[in-house]
Amino acid sequence: MKEVKKSIPKVDGVGLLMGKPAYTNDLAPQDALIVKILRSPHPFAKIISINTDEALSIEGVECILTHKDFPKKIFTRAGQGYPEPSPYDKFVLDEYVRYVGDEVAAVAAINEEVAEKALKKIKVEYELFEPVLDFKKAKDSKIIHFEKEAHSMFEIGFNPERNIAASYNMNVGNVEEELKKCDVVVESKYYTQPQAHVMLEPMVATSFIDYMGRLNVITATQVPFHIRRILSNVLNLSINKIRVIKPRIGGGFGGKQAIHGEPYVAMVTLKTGKPAKIIYTRKEVFEATYSRHEMEFNIKIGADKDGLIKAIDVDVLSNTGAYGEHALTVFMVAGSKTLPLYNKVNAVRFGGDVVYTNLTPAGAYRGYGAIQGNFALESVIDELAEKLKISPVEIRTKNMIKEGETSPIFKIMGEGREGVEMNIQSCKLDYCVKRGMELIKWNEKYPKKAYGNKIRSVGMAIAMQGSGIADIDMGSAILKLNDDGSFNLLVGATDLGTGSDTILSQIAAETLGVSTDKIIPYSSDTDLTPFDTGAYASSTTYVSGNSVRIAAENMKKMILEEGSKNLGTDKVHFNGEEIIRDDNKNKISLKQLSELLYYSMNQKQLVADGSYVGKKSPPPYMASFVEIELDTETGKVEVINFVSVVDCGTPINPNLAKVQVEGALVQGIGMTLYEDINFSNGKMRNNTLMTYRIPDRRDVKKLTVEFAESYEPSGPYGAKSVGEIGIDTPPAAIANAIFNATGVRIRSLPITPEKVFKAMEMKK
């Protein structure tokens, strides 16, 4: 491999570092109206009246939109494959508000100052309802969604009369009977909190009508093609009248896998004929977009006296907040991306409900349910090991999935529907565990060493994820040969700052045999680039990468065909620079051939395309080991070293893959030790970066990331995904290390010093 498995710099790196205009706000029309949203101060209420007269009289206010200005079209904000597995339960603007931050009205004005002034002059009369704020009491409580239009696109267990957005249940074998036969059974309850994305760039969108009379929307989104489809629905505008452009994006982490400000700027533009722009404040990002699903797990696990796990039973309650975005799919991933890790059980059961509350909606977030499920499962595995008096490493190596094996879960559970059967062709989890032990010096440090009032200890966890959604996620690519022998690569895939434009260029270059600097990527624009479901579900490298590989293979065939015509024989080969007769009697450079093609001979543009839908979703695997230092006088936990060894198949760009894992690990450590959204009567209290604590470089002393030598036959040049898996292991690994240090088991996140100290005191 010449271009793949090579740490070349990101193709957009220098331009972004130099501050070149690249982001949505950089590209917004200078005369764009500024759009601001009036948001509900109440968690649950009906709007009795809205008086906008005084606000409209302010000079510079162009228009004010209320629920009377939008078509009565119900939809879901979730940017997923169509038909979406999320319930249609929201109007762009509604006469009911269901959480603090829900949209009430939109103001468009000549500048931000005027818009803010107008917001204060809008008079709204509310009828207040008793909100549902405790997700453990939400089921069969006061109904939150009573609108007759609410529905699901297919059966997802949607039952609004019971406050249930989605339900799911599956089982293999007889769990009760298997648990009865077990020598040891552990039953525990685990809780994971909501978590904010905290991407640097907030939600931004701008819109204008072009000279063809079409609506153009430039937006920081992970899912431009889904945005176009959703806008078409909510605006009653045909898809061919809408163009969505995705510029560079300052992070997403799942938070931009949905529609947010786009309908408001679009409607303002349609109503006024003028460009419009919305930039969410940080407070709006916290309160009015969405967060990670809060979950509670009741889990039972049983094994024989030799440590062979026989049955796993998981019951889950998930809180989707006011709307059901990604409700079912995040819930299912909590099982489908964790339970196959232990594929030798005789029986397994997974199920539960996703309930509505009058809190900030939950939605997609890196890890997408797997991190929640991993915390519960990988913690209870350690509990089982402790009860069996065997080591955490031993119980995992006895029971974990291995190369060549399968799990019935793959077929039973997909995302929102059935999955697909898979035999695992690449799994180096056993190497990851062994290498991780070496790097952390497990045998020297397990379980702990005490130094005065400090204890150093180690803990571990393993994880798996997926590579796109099989039979659902689609990627496509177009390659165009230029007259100097370079190529334009057009992809609908969305680079969120991950470096996917670079990675996809490397795949194209490798296939063509050219250097990566000959590939000029462009992503993504619904008018110019081919269809792609978007950047989520760890799909880009595997799904979009395969489509690029196919397009490049097709382009190579075209080059050989045209070269054969020029050289007078079909026995030719292409080395990336020249097409050469196999008998070496003549040759022509790609640049010469391109010039001939476009200016003087056979005048023909070479354009190749490729599309790909995965028939499987090969999991990446990871083993993580953490060393912590715990202060017994305060309960404070510091991460001294976090070691992760990852099997992601072939890392197309090892450096970009490494920083993906490192960033995800830090996010996972943040969820474990620091991050916690607090509500008071339905209002988020820590809705600023001053009050919402995330880890910084000082909080993690050392990160060590290595990759296993692995090759996935179905992936482009052996690649699997790497974008999400890094976030999965920190909660369980750190919780397990805390148990190894103190003997106390913390089963709810975040693990604050107060919780640790209190648990240690209770154990005395």
pLDDT tens per residue, range 320-330: 999 999 999 99
- Predicted structure pTM score: 0.97
CATH class of 13-129+200-251+256-288: alpha beta
Architecture of domain 291-469+616-763: 2-Layer Sandwich (3.30)
Reply yes or no on whether the pLDDT at 422 is more than 80. yes
Whole-number percent of the chain with pLDDT over 90: 97
| 571-613 per-position pLDDT tens digit | 999 999 999 999 999 999 999 999 999 998 778 999 999 999 9
DSSP 667-722: HHHHHHHT----EETTEES--STTTS----GGGBS-EEEEE-----TTSGGGB---
Provide the mean pLDDT of the chain.
Answer: 97
- Report whether 98 contacts 144 (CB < 8 A): yes
Sheet holding 276-279, edge to edge: 61-65, 103-109, 33-39, 276-279, 204-209, 215-219, 242-245
Note the pLDDT of residue 196: 98
Both tokens of 236, joined, read 């009653």
Q: How many CB atoms lie within 10 A of CB 266?
A: 28
Both tokens of 752, joined, read 């604050």
Note the pLDDT of residue 36: 98
Both tokens of 736, joined, read 């397990």
Interval 666-681 mean pLDDT: 97
Residues 6+ apart with CB under 8 A from 314: 297, 298, 299, 335, 339, 349, 350, 351, 352, 373, 376, 377
Residues 6+ apart with CB under 8 A from 227: 79, 217, 219, 221, 244, 259, 262
H helices present in 6-101, as ranges: 13-17, 24-27, 53-56
Check for a shared fold between 291-469+616-763 and 474-613.
yes
Identity of residue 52: T
The CA-based diameter of the chain, rounded to the nearest angstrom, is: 88
Note the pLDDT of residue 750: 98
CA distance 543 to 564: 32
Interval 609-624 mean pLDDT: 97
**CATH of 474-613 among 3.30.365.10, 3.40.190.10, 2.60.120.260, 3.40.50.2300:** 3.30.365.10
The conformation of residue 198, written as its DSSP 8-state character, comes to -
Note the pLDDT of residue 382: 98
Residue ranges covered by each domain of the chain:
13-129+200-251+256-288, 291-469+616-763, 474-613
Both tokens of 345, joined, read 């059980």
